[in-house]
Structure 1
Amino acid sequence: MNTIARIGVDLAKNVMQIHAVDQSGHIVTRKAISRANFLNRFANLPPCLVAMEACSAAHYWARRLRSLGHDVRLIPPQFVAPYRKGGSRMKNDALDAEAVCEAASRPQMRFVPVKSPAQQSVLVLHRLRTGYVEERTALVNRLRGLLAEFGVFLPQGIDKLHAHFVEHIEDGTNELTGTAREALMRGWAQWQALDQEIAWFDRQIATHARQDPHAKRCMDMCGIGPLTASATVATIVDARQFKNGRQMAAWLGTVPRQKSSGGKQRLGRITKQGNEYLRMLLFLGARAALNTAHRRNDRLSRWILQLRARIGYNKTLIAVANKHARILWAILAKGEKFDPAHVCPSAAT
């Protein structure tokens, strides 16, 4: 067991599969370990490289294994799949652990930084808030559809429905029965409860954005509010993992998909890879910046207006989201402050 140099771990709820090799890549051990004995197994091993997929509970196990002196690497699952023997047709825990171990040996492999408990706590706020927003949207659509069954048609938009919902329930001229009115009012009460929960999460996220120095610098940008700034800081553990802003924008999926070959460049739609939640927030912020650009006279706003006149609204929206991602990288990786009049040195020359 002292010859182990690298271990691939396939995480699971109850049983973990490990695949250990020596310095020459020869298999030392392959074994399934229960969750209760997982840390004890590694506590008895000399420090080595431990690789896992970046999945549920991976950051927790990475922190615990690092406390035991091991060098822990988290690999995105999409980078592990090509190394699994049998491809997509053959899959089991042993093959997954072996693929993780093999992927970790590649010199150009990309790894996911391990998040701290504080960063994961902020993400808990965002994920629960997103869940409540989805529940509210589903509830509102359900209430609107049920009202339509009785000939009560309300205008589109959650604010308009909120303003006129109760008065239509209390309107005695429609076909709503007493049972239906009571049931719909219970749905209304659930709607109010969800609004209160979302408002509480908004306050907590805003507090984090005001207290975190990196998030405060991010909010200097037009279109970047507390929600986006907080999510960016908590999701991107260390912006220096990207060599430049272009890499971070590509990681977020705001760049065109390439199908280039034979010296011919073919660009398609954006890849939509990376963190879906953060990309969605960037697009919402880009829309806000695009819609209000005519009110400002800084260099960035003038560029947005010129781009919109040349390529249209939708393509400009993607370009602004890409630009925001690159600016956020400069703010987080270099510690710079946002300057809307900034001129790139290469562009100036």
Structure 2
Amino acid sequence: MSIHTTELIKAKFAGIDFHKKTSVVALGDSTGRVLEQITLPNELSQIRKYFKQFHGLECVVESCRGYEWLVEELQEMGHTVHMGDARSIKLIAQTRCKTDKIDSRLLMELIAKDYLPTCYQPTRQERMLRELVRHRAQLVRSAVKHKLRVHAHLDKENKGIFSPFTIQGRQKLNEVKLTESRRQQVDDELEIIDFLELKIAEQDAKVKYISRSNPDVALLKTIPGFDVLMSIAFIAEVGDITRFKKAKQVAAFLGLVPRVYSSGDTRRNGRITKCGSKLMRWMLVQGAWSAIHASSNLRKMFHDIERRKGKKVAVVAVARKLATIAYHVLKEKTEYQESLLDAGLARAAF
């Protein structure tokens, strides 16, 4: 057995700097000493051939686009994979000289010294739900973009139509006289809109089908402002609810808590952090407007804050409250109860 092979047997940690075409791997022993650094092409055969030499490695991959297949492959080979928080790692280890070898070695050393900042690694099912919800949202945004183009074409000839995409509106839109070139452009836009709305309906059907077999969706739907889509989105974006110890951690995860500036005796709260899922944050704010009408307690909360801070701050506060309520509903596996808020929001279980 060669000296090199003997050294590699001691490998316990692996820092992987993942890229689209290649991955730079830094192997280290139990003390974090570098044993080998190698660049591997991102091909299954090469990845399997290399990592099958080792048993039970502690691997680190930074959270980035397209990493999923590599993580699943390493886990199938019996290795443990940690997801490094790229933002925190950058703050911890800023350097003037940045190369792939340095990055892979840094990841390995952080896990070896038990100083690696990690982030949540969603399950395959959670990833599929996220992709479903985000794909639907992208289709809706695209449809809205093309509808705005139709409005723009009509406005250019001063022939705007109120609600041109209803049944009656489409009839008026077909009858309105436009120049030949603009009529062709409007017809093209309508064809695209019809296609997108068909795809949106297909995604809605998938969401409803999935919701039937998920008991958590039924629980979340009892919360004011939560419908099937929003319930599925919350489950997908938040993931395993038991990883949060407190409800306010969920609000922080979704970026619905204010920034804090504190020094000495001075403390000031700024705007919300806007961390986490932008889509989920937007959906909670939209759901908050519905919740204000459905719940007397949330309506009172909204008006109390509105008088002091204004509508925008008040509705975000209600959205944050919905996130904490959803945490308790999922954590305790119980339906939402308005009576728990009747005693006063400050003392409520939710």
Which TM-score applies when normalising by structure 1? 0.86
Residues 1:100 and 2:102 aligned together: no
The CA deviation at 1:132 is 1.1
Matched letter for residue 324 of structure 1? L
The CA deviation at 1:307 is 3.7
Gaps of 5+ in 2: 1-7
- CA distance in structure 1 between the aligned counterparts of 2:206 and 2:348, rounded to whole angstroms: 42
- In the alignment, which residue of structure 2 is the partner of 1:231? 233
- CA distance in structure 1 between the aligned counterparts of 2:265 and 2:84, rounded to whole angstroms: 31
Matched letter for residue 164 of structure 1? G
SS at match of 1:28: strand
Decide whether aligned partners of structure 1 residues 91 and 199 sit closer, same or farther in structure 2, where only a CA change above 3 A counts: farther
SS at match of 1:259: strand
- In the alignment, which residue of structure 1 is the partner of 2:153? 146
The CA deviation at 1:73 is 0.9
- In the alignment, which residue of structure 2 is the partner of 1:193? 195
Matched letter for residue 71 of structure 1? T
- In the alignment, which residue of structure 2 is the partner of 1:347? 347
Which of 153, 172, 196 is 1:167 aligned to?
Answer: 172
- In the alignment, which residue of structure 2 is the partner of 1:41? 50
Residues 1:3 and 2:32 aligned together: no
- CA distance in structure 2 between the aligned counterparts of 1:287 and 1:56, rounded to whole angstroms: 34
Decide whether aligned partners of structure 1 residues 24 and 112 sit closer, same or farther in structure 2, where only a CA change above 3 A counts: same
Matched letter for residue 312 of structure 1? G
Matched letter for residue 8 of structure 1? G
1:54-83 CA distance string (max 9 Å, x none): 222333322221222212111232122124
- In the TM superposition, 1:36-115 aligns within 5 A as 36=43, 37-86=46-95, 90-105=97-112, 107=114, 109-115=116-122
Decide whether aligned partners of structure 1 residues 105 and 137 sit closer, same or farther in structure 2, where only a CA change above 3 A counts: farther
SS at match of 1:265: strand
Which TM-score applies when normalising by structure 2? 0.86
- CA distance in structure 2 between the aligned counterparts of 1:84 and 1:160, rounded to whole angstroms: 55
Which of 283, 297, 300 is 1:281 aligned to?
Answer: 283
- CA distance in structure 2 between the aligned counterparts of 1:178 and 1:8, rounded to whole angstroms: 61
Which of 22, 33, 39 is 1:32 aligned to?
Answer: 39
Please provide the CA RMSD for this pair: 2.6
Matched letter for residue 255 of structure 2? G
Q: Percent sequence identity over matched residues?
A: 22
Decide whether aligned partners of structure 1 residues 323 and 268 sit closer, same or farther in structure 2, where only a CA change above 3 A counts: same
Decide whether aligned partners of structure 1 residues 147 and 280 sit closer, same or farther in structure 2, where only a CA change above 3 A counts: same
- CA distance in structure 2 between the aligned counterparts of 1:218 and 1:62, rounded to whole angstroms: 31
Contact kept in structure 2, 1:252 and 1:273, CA below 8 Å: yes
1:147-172 CA distance string (max 9 Å, x none): 222232345xxx45545354244234
Which of 255, 264, 267 is 1:265 aligned to?
Answer: 267
Contact kept in structure 2, 1:76 and 1:111, CA below 8 Å: yes
SS at match of 2:340: coil
Contact kept in structure 1, 2:161 and 2:172, CA below 8 Å: no
- CA distance in structure 1 between the aligned counterparts of 2:239 and 2:173, rounded to whole angstroms: 49
- In the alignment, which residue of structure 2 is the partner of 1:330? 328
